[in-house]
C-alpha cells in the first residue's frame, strides 16, 4: 500500500448520464476531461465543484512531497441500493489500480451519510471534504438537499408525499364537521367555513400525488398483472368484492333505520362503516398474492405479511380520525382517547413500514 487516494463520489451518476463520462475515472488528466464533459452539459451541477475540489487537494499533496492518486466513481440514477452497489464495484476497480493506505473523500456535502460507510468498508478514511459554494455554503447545501428532495422520485416519495398526506388529514378535521353540520341543518355559513380548509386539502392532495407519481403507475401495473395472470389473486379479489358489496348493502339499511341521525351524520356513519370492509377486501387480495407465491415458490414473503399489518394499523388510525369527528359532533367519545388511538396507530404504522423496508432491500432507497 502506498499514498493517499483523493476520491470524488457522484452517487446519482450525473457524470455518466449527463456528461457521458465512462467511469470509474482514474488519474488527474482523465478527471480534468470528466469535469469538462459534465461542465459543458450542466455547468451548475455541484458534482463539478466536488471533483475540482478533489483535484485541488491532489495537487496540494503532491506539492508537499506526498504520494497521491485521484479518482472519480459514480453510482446510478436509481439512487439507493442500486447506486450504492455500483459505487462499491467502481471503488474496488480503483483500489486494484493504486492500493492506497487511506482515502480523502470529497463530496458536495449532500449525501455523505450514505457514501461514508461504502468507502470506510474498503479503506480508512483520512478526512472528508465538502465542496460548497463560497457565497453561502449553508444556504447552498440546504437548497441542494431541497431540490434533490422534490426532484428525485425516491426522495419525493419519502419526504414530499407524507407531507401532503399529513396536510390532507389535518384539513379533513376542519372540513368534515362543518360539512356534516351543513347537511344536517342546511346552514350556508357552515359550508362557507369549509372553503379555506378545502383549498388546503386540495393542495395536500396535489402534493401527495406528485410525491407518489412514479409509484402510482407501478402499483397499478402490479395489481393488473396479479389480477390477469394469477388465478388465486383474481378469485380472492372477487370474493372480497362480493363481501364488500354485501357489507355496503347492510350498512345502507342500518343507516336508513336510524331516524335520529341527520343526513350529514348518516353519510359519515355510512362511510365509517365501510372502512373495515374495504380493508378486508385489501387483506383478502393480499392473501391471494401470498397463496400464489406459496403455490409457485413455496415461500411466503415477509414484506407481504408486514404490509397486511400496515393496512390494519392504517385502518386503526383512520378509525381514530372518524372517532375524533364523532366526538366533536355528538360528544359520544372522549376526544383525548380518540387522539391517543391515532397516535398509537401512527407509531404502529411507522413500525410496520420500517419492518417492511427491512424485509425488502429495494425499498431502502
Query: For 248-259, what is each residue's pLDDT tens digit?
Result: 888 777 777 765
Looking at 212, 235, 263, the residue that finishes a domain is 212
pLDDT value at position 362? Answer: 46
Q: What is the pLDDT of residues 78-117, one digit of tens each?
A: 777 788 888 989 999 999 988 899 999 988 765 655 778 8
Nearest to 164 by CA among 200, 131, 125: 200
Q: Which residues of 105-126 are buried (b: 16+ CB within 10 A; e: fewer)?
A: bbbbbbbeebbeebbeebbeee
Left, alpha or beta for 104 (phi > 0: left; psi -120 to 50: alpha)?
beta
For residue 348, report the phi and psi dihedrals to the nearest 5 degrees: -65, -40
CA distances from residue 209 to 7, 158, 224 in whole angstroms, order as listed: 38, 13, 20
Mean pLDDT of the chain: 79
Same domain, 204 and 179: yes
Q: How many helices (H) and strands (E) does the chain have?
A: 16, 5
Same domain, 184 and 225: no
Domain count within the chain: 3
Residue carrying the nine cell digits 457521458: 20
* Dist CA 138 CA 133 (whole Å): 9
Least confident of 55-69, 94-108, 253-267, 332-346: 253-267
Same domain, 128 and 195: no
pLDDT value at position 69? Answer: 94
* Dist CA 73 CA 23 (whole Å): 6
Determine how many CB atoms are found less than 10 A away from the CB of residue 22: 12
pLDDT value at position 114? Answer: 72
Residues 324 and 342: beta-carbon distance below 8 Å = yes
**pLDDT-based confidence at residue 333 (cuts at 50, 70, 90):** low
Q: Average of pLDDT values for 312-337?
A: 75
Residue 305: CB partners within 8 Å, gap ≥ 6? 290
Q: Average of pLDDT values for 239-255?
A: 83
Same domain, 26 and 125: yes
Q: Which residues of 200-217 are buried (b: 16+ CB within 10 A; e: fewer)?
A: bbeebeebbeebbeeeee
Residue 181: CB partners within 8 Å, gap ≥ 6? 187, 190, 264, 329
Looking at 148, 173, 195, the residue that finishes a domain is 148
**pLDDT-based confidence at residue 61 (cuts at 50, 70, 90):** very high
**pLDDT-based confidence at residue 330 (cuts at 50, 70, 90):** low
Q: What is the pLDDT of residues 283-294, one digit of tens each?
A: 888 888 888 777
Same domain, 99 and 168: no
Determine how many CB atoms are found less than 10 A away from the CB of residue 229: 10
DSSP 8-state symbol, 198: H
Q: Average of pLDDT values for 154-170?
A: 79
Which three-class secondary structure state does DSSP give residue 125?
A: strand
**pLDDT-based confidence at residue 137 (cuts at 50, 70, 90):** low
Same domain, 185 and 141: no
Same domain, 200 and 241: no
pLDDT at 260 over 60: no
**pLDDT-based confidence at residue 151 (cuts at 50, 70, 90):** low
Same domain, 85 and 208: no
Looking at 107, 124, 148, the residue that finishes a domain is 148
Domain hosting residue 189, numbered range: 152-212
Which three-class secondary structure state does DSSP give residue 129?
A: strand
Q: Average of pLDDT values for 214-224?
A: 68
Same domain, 24 and 111: yes
pLDDT value at position 7? Answer: 93
Which three-class secondary structure state does DSSP give residue 193?
A: coil
Nearest to 264 by CA among 318, 190, 168, 167: 190
For residue 74, report the phi and psi dihedrals to the nearest 5 degrees: -130, 155
pLDDT at 324 over 90: no
Same domain, 141 and 255: no
Residue carrying the nine cell digits 428532495: 149
Same domain, 186 and 220: no
68-74 and 125-130 strand pairing? unpaired
Same domain, 9 and 113: yes
CA distances from residue 183 to 151, 176, 190, 253 in whole angstroms, order as listed: 41, 10, 9, 19
pLDDT value at position 43? Answer: 85
Residue 12: CB partners within 8 Å, gap ≥ 6? 75, 76, 77, 79, 83, 152
Amino acid at each position: 500500500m502506498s499514498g493517499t487516494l483523493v476520491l470524488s463520489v457522484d452517487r446519482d451518476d450525473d457524470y455518466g448520464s449527463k456528461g457521458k463520462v465512462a467511469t470509474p475515472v482514474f488519474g488527474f488528466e482523465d478527471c480534468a476531461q470528466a469535469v469538462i464533459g459534465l461542465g459543458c452539459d450542466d455547468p451548475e451541477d455541484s458534482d463539478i465543484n466536488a471533483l475540482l475540489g478533489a483535484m485541488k487537494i491532489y495537487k496540494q499533496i503532491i506539492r508537499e512531497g506526498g504520494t497521491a492518486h485521484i479518482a472519480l466513481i459514480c453510482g446510478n440514477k436509481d439512487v439507493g441500493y442500486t447506486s450504492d452497489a455500483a459505487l462499491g464495484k467502481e471503488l474496488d476497480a480503483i483500489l486494484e489500480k493504486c492500493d492506497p493506505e487511506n482515502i480523502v473523500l470529497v463530496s458536495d456535502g449532500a449525501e455523505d451519510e450514505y457514501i461514508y460507510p461504502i468507502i470506510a468498508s474498503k479503506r480508512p478514511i483520512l478526512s472528508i471534504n465538502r465542496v460548497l459554494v463560497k457565497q453561502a455554503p449553508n444556504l447552498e447545501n440546504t437548497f441542494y438537499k431541497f431540490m434533490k428532495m422534490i426532484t428525485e422520485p425516491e426522495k419525493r416519495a419519502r419526504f414530499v408525499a407524507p407531507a401532503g398526506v399529513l396536510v390532507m388529514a389535518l384539513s379533513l378535521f376542519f372540513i368534515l364537521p362543518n360539512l356534516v353540520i351543513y347537511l344536517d341543518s342546511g346552514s350556508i355559513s357552515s359550508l362557507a367555513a369549509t372553503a379555506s380548509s378545502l383549498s388546503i386539502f386540495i393542495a395536500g392532495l396535489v402534493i401527495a400525488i406528485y410525491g407518489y407519481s412514479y409509484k402510482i403507475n407501478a402499483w397499478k401495473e402490479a395489481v393488473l398483472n396479479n389480477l390477469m395472470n394469477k388465478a388465486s389473486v383474481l378469485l380472492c379479489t372477487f370474493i372480497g368484492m362480493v363481501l364488500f358489496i354485501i357489507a355496503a348493502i347492510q350498512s345502507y339499511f342500518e343507516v336508513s333505520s336510524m331516524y335520529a341521525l341527520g343526513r350529514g351524520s348518516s353519510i359519515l356513519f355510512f362511510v365509517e362503516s365501510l372502512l373495515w370492509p374495504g380493508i378486508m377486501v385489501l387483506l383478502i387480495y393480499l392473501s391471494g398474492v401470498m397463496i400464489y407465491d406459496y403455490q409457485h415458490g413455496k415461500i411466503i414473503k415477509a414484506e407481504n405479511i408486514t404490509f397486511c399489518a400496515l393496512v390494519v394499523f392504517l385502518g386503526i388510525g383512520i378509525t381514530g380520525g372518524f372517532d375524533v369527528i364523532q366526538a366533536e359532533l355528538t360528544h359520544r367519545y372522549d376526544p383525548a382517547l380518540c387522539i391517543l388511538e391515532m397516535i398509537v396507530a401512527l407509531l404502529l404504522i411507522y413500525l410496520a413500514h420500517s419492518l417492511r423496508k427491512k424485509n425488502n432491500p429495494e425499498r431502502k432507497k
